[in-house]
Amino acid sequence: MWQITNITDPIDIQAIDNQSVGFNLSAWLGGFLNQNDHVVVSVTFFNQALDQINNQTNLPVVRSSNRQSTTKLVFRNVTDRVPASTRFLKVTVEIIWDAGDWNNGYVDNIALVLFK
C-alpha cells in the first residue's frame, strides 16, 4: 500500500529548497516467532513533475533475529533532510512473505513527521 502527499501546502517551498525541512519516518515492525516475514516501510521524494529526485529511505527491517524469535513489534525510525525540489512524497508499506503458510509481517503506528 502507498500514499502520495503534496507537501507544498503545509510547508514553505523556499524552506524545502534550502533543505531546512527535516523528516522523521517511524513505525512498529515485527513478525511471528522464528519466521522472517517482514515489512518494508519507505518514503520517496518527487519534484513538481513527479520525477523521483532521490533514492527512497527505508526503515531498518525487523527480522526474527531482531525479535529474538518471538512474536512482537520493534520500534524503528529514521531522521534525515527533505531533498531540495521536493513537492510530493510517497510513503510505501510492503509486507514480504518469507516462509510458512501465512504472511506474518506486522506493522503498526506508521508516522511521517516533517519539521523545520
Q: Is this prediction's pTM over 0.85? A: yes
User: Using H for helix, E for strand and C for coil, what is the string for the chain?
Assistant: CEEEEECCCCCCHHHHHCCCCEEEEEEEEEECCCCCCEEEEEEEEECCCCCECCCCEECCCCCHHHHCCCCEEEEEEEEEECCCCCCEEEEEEEEECCCCCCCCCEEEEEEEEEEC
Please state the rounded mean pLDDT for residues 53-80: 97
What is the average pLDDT across 71-87? 97
- Give the tens place of pLDDT for each residue, 3-57: 999 999 888 999 999 999 999 999 999 999 999 999 999 999 999 999 999 889 9
d(CA 89, CA 4): 6
Tell me the β-bridge partners of 89.
Answer: 5, 45
Domain ranges of the chain: 2-115
Superfamily for the 2-115 domain = Galactose-binding domain-like (2.60.120.260)
What per-residue confidence (pLDDT) applies to 99?
A: 86
